[in-house]
Chains A and B, each alone.
Chain A
Amino acid sequence: MSALDLPLREQAGGIAAGEIDPATLLDEALARIEERNPAVNAVVETFPEQSREMLAAAPEGPLRGVPVAIKDEWPLPWRAQRFGAAEMMKAVAPGESGPYRALRDAGAVIVGVANMHEAGAGSTGNVSVYGPARNPWDPERCPGGSSSGPAAAVAAGLVAGAVGADGIGSIRFPAAYCGLTGLKPTFGRSAMDGHHMAAVTTMIVSGPLCADAADARLLGSALFGEELQAAGVEGLRIGVIRDEVSEDVDPEIAAACEEAVAALAAESGGEVREVELAGLPASATAAVLIANAESLDGVSPDQLNRLSPELTPIFRGFAKYRMLMPAAASLKSEQIRTLMRRRAAQAFAEVDVLAWPTVPAPAPPLEAPLVELPSGTTTADQANVRGAGLANLTGIPAISVPVGQSANGLPLALQLQAAWGRDELLLDAAEALERANERRWVECRP
Chain B
Amino acid sequence: MGTTDDYPAAGLAQLGIEADEVELGVVAAAHALFWPAILEILALDLGDLEREADPDLSKAP
Which listed residue (B12, B42, B51, B52) contacts A326, Cβ 8 A?
Answer: B42
Interface residue tally for chain B (C-beta within 8 Å): 38
Q: Name the CB-closest residue of A to B23.
A: A317
Known: A332-B46, A335-B46, A338-B50. A420 touches B59 (CB 8 A): yes
Q: Which of B33-51 contact A (CB under 8 A)?
A: 33-34, 37-38, 40-42, 44, 46, 49-51
What 1/0 flags go to A420-441 for Cβ under 8 Å of B? Answer: 1100000000000000000000
- Say whether A46 faces chain B, with CB atoms less than 8 Å apart: no
Q: Is the interface of A mostly helix, strand, loop or mixed?
A: helix
Residues of A within 8 A of B42 (CB): 326, 328-329, 332
- Interface hits, B6-57 → A, CB 8 Å: 7-8, 11-12, 15-19, 22-27, 29-31, 33-34, 37-38, 40-42, 44, 46, 49-52, 55-57
Q: Which residues of A contact B51 (CB under 8 A)?
A: 331, 334-335, 337-338
Give the complex CA separation of A345 and B42 in angstroms.
24
B37 touches A189 (CB 8 A): no
Does B3 lie at the interface of the complex (its beta carbon under 8 Å from any beta carbon of A)? Answer: no
Q: Contact between A323 and B15 (Cβ–Cβ < 8 Å)?
A: yes
Asked if B44 contacts A382 (CB within 8 A), the reply is: no
Chain B contacts of A323 at CB under 8 A? Answer: 11-12, 15, 17
Taking Cβ atoms with an 8 Å cutoff, the residues of B that contact A are: 7-8, 11-12, 15-19, 22-27, 29-31, 33-34, 37-38, 40-42, 44, 46, 49-52, 55-61
**Complex: A338 Cα to B61 Cα, angstroms:** 8
- Minimum C-beta distance from B55 to chain A (A): 7
B22 vs chain A, min Cβ distance (A): 4
A314 touches B26 (CB 8 A): yes
Interchain pairs with CB closer than 8 A, number: 123
Considering only CB atoms and an 8 Å cut-off, how many residues of chain A contact the other chain? 46
Asked whether B58 lies within 8 Å of A421 as measured between CB atoms, the reply is yes
Residue of A286, A305, A316, A320 with most partner-chain B CB within 10 A: A320
Listed residue (B24, B46, B58) with the most chain A CB atoms within 10 angstroms of its CB: B58
Contacts of A202 in B (CB 8 A): 57
The answer to whether A333 and B15 touch (CB under 8 A), given A313-B26, A318-B26, A421-B58, is no
CB within 8 A of B8: which of A324, A329, A336, A420? A324
Output the nearest chain B residue to A307 by Cβ-Cβ distance. Answer: B23
In addition to A323-B11, A342-B61, 5 A-B residue pairs with Cβ atoms within 8 Å of each other are A282-B40, A301-B15, A320-B27, A323-B15, A338-B61
Residues of the B chain whose Cβ atoms lie less than 8 Å from the Cβ of A338: 49-52, 55, 61
